[in-house]
Amino acid sequence: MRVHIATDHAGMELSSHLITALSANGYEMVDHGPAAYDAEDDYPAFCIKAATAVAADRAAGVDALGIVLGGSGNGEQIAANKVKGVRAALAWNLDTAKLAREHNDANVVAVGGRQHTVEEATELIEAFLAEPFSNAERHVRRIGKIGTYETTGEITE
């Protein structure tokens, strides 16, 4: 599986750790930056690039997911969710990480680097990456309604 990753300055240590650890576990890691620490960096460009790459890979049939990191993960999740076809979820415990994939077929996970130890964050992300989508009819239906709104602006009930 290809995994696109992006961060801001607050998640650089975690990003570096994840690239090494997940590569060792067989994931093809693609780093969307930043390349160097800058306490004044602006995360949206990094996160949007990672999310865009996830959406493009998935549209091309490539098995791909994404990771966006920051201090809280909130802004990074918001930025990633602006990309058409991306469903980014903020994970703060194992249940939210797994349910994001199982119920929502989230394709990007956001984690706050200042909210967890490196070990905790790694466990959340590994759980997200490993969890399959359930394909349960109710979840497929709900995700379809989100997709309809995203592409047409129509709210379906």
Residue numbers belonging to the annotated binding site for D-ribulose 5-phosphate:
8-9, 71-75, 104, 114, 138, 142
- Binding residue ranges: 8-9, 71-75, 104, 114, 138, 142
CA dist list (Å): 99 to 11, 18, 25, 50, 107 = 23, 21, 22, 22, 12
Question: Is 28 one of the catalytic residues?
Answer: no
Active-site hit among 4, 32, 76, 116: 76
- Core vs surface per residue 57-88: b (16+ CB within 10 A) or e: bbeeeeebbbbbbbbbbebbbbbbbebeebbb
Q: Are strands 108-112 and 28-31 parallel, antiparallel or unpaired?
A: unpaired
What amino acid occupies position 131? E
Active-site hit among 13, 103, 120, 126: 103
Question: 105 - beta bridge partners?
Answer: none
Question: Is 76 one of the catalytic residues?
Answer: yes
Point out the residues that are catalytic. 76, 103
